[in-house]
A = this chain, B = another copy of it.
């Protein structure tokens, strides 16, 4: 297995290890884990409902209804977001320095090209930040919205920083593109496909006035409502909650030891290898002054060893950028995502409590049975959404970690082979 795992990554560019693109009965396509397919023995994606449920939305257009694909087999229930036939993605590229206010203010503008239109749009970091605020407001209590790469005050125009920020914005956009509900939202589509300055400004104002935010977003979702077993739902949530908390701890561990190792490789270890290299070369230089014949082989070996150590110093210092970098970036992203779940789970728990209280309120005649029914229906929607989200999280996690581990191991093998080869 180990061999084939690293073997695969060395021989192919297939980064979707463990993923299969599956098609449901209506011809719709989505990514599912291959083992899932194998276990179930058949494709489990089937779309249930396309109807919109926007009676509580303040503007008939801003919120398209969201749908689930769903299957039930064996003991468990499996809900998945309905994934589009063509996965939305975009390329963030070509950072350009722009100015405004007659050159008084400078900024960096990135070009974003979605695969849906293939037409580039330009955005500054502050536009990404605006989008992040909108998405948090609208979806923050339903889905984890990944953190935007940090704001930075100094060095904003340095090439290294711009490259790093662009890479992170790319990762941020790709992750959002992969979320079918977010990707399909009006505000996200506006960001990717606005046609001109005027279009952008109108869309921006509209999005800022969107009132279907927070828990209201659930009202725009319409799964095939079925009574879920509340105990089972709570138990699943508890398992997921425990999972995300544990994963959060472990991800933080990995980040912390990764940072430490990064600093050691580019700091003391590099210097130490350089010093060893110099020590061998200096000894070689002294030997060359002996005036004694017959030590050419020795001094050449000492010099070559010294130079090899200097090369190792550089390879060692450059290594974290090759292997740790992507591992750290992915784990940082997940640290951000995992930080969102307590709130999301909290919202769901509060809804469960509310429905439990509703029984009491009906008995006290404080609310009618219809009110209770609505509340239960809303909870059911939220439970479905949460379960779809849990599945979305797990499949993405497996996809992302498979990819990052393959690249990591590939770079590790490369590292040791490169250093070995220095000696030959």
B-binding residues in A (CB < 8 A): 1-3, 5-6, 17-18, 33-36, 39, 239, 242-243, 246-247, 250-251, 253-254, 257-258, 260-261, 264, 268-269, 272, 275-276, 278-280, 282-283, 286-287, 289-298, 300-302, 304-305, 391, 394-395, 397-398, 401-402, 405-406, 408-409, 412-413, 416-417, 419-420, 423-424
Could you jot down 7 A-B contacts, CB within 8 Å? A1-B297, A3-B424, A5-B300, A6-B423, A292-B398, A298-B405, A305-B405
Return A216 CB to nearest CB of chain B, in Å: 29
Contact B413–A424 (Cβ < 8 Å): yes
Task: Let me know if A294 and B33 touch, CB within 8 A.
Answer: yes
Which of B247, B272, B409 is close to A260, meaning CB atoms less than 8 Å apart?
Answer: B272
Cross-chain contact A289 with B416 (CB below 8 angstroms): no
Copies of this chain per assembly: 2
Docked complex Cα distance between A183 and B169 (Å): 75
Secondary structure at the A interface, as helix, strand, loop or mixed, is: helix
Chain B residues within 8 Å of A401, by CB: 287, 298, 302
Closest to A406 in B: B301
**Alpha-carbon gap, A290 to B296, bound state (A):** 63
Name the one of B5, B250, B269 contacting A264, with C-beta atoms under 8 angstroms.
B269
Q: When the two chains form their complex, are residues B250 and A304 in contact, meaning their CB atoms are under 8 A apart?
A: no
| Chain B minimum-CB-distance residue to A257 | B275
> How far apart are A167's CB and chain B's nearest CB, in angstroms?
23
Of B34, B282, B301, B409, the residue contacting A301 (CB under 8 A) is B409
Q: Given A401-B298, A419-B416, verify A293-B250 contact (CB < 8 Å).
A: no
A301 touches B420 (CB 8 A): no
Contact B246 A298 (CB under 8 A): no
A35 touches B304 (CB 8 A): no
Instruction: With both chains docked as a complex, state the minimum distance between the C-beta of A273 and any C-beta of chain B, in angstroms.
Output: 8
Taking A416-B419, A416-B420 as given, write out 10 further A-B residue pairs in contact, using a Cβ cutoff of 8 Å, ordered by the A residue number: A2-B424, A18-B298, A33-B292, A34-B294, A35-B295, A292-B395, A295-B398, A301-B405, A301-B406, A416-B423
Which of A6, A401, A409: most chain B CB closer than 10 A? A401
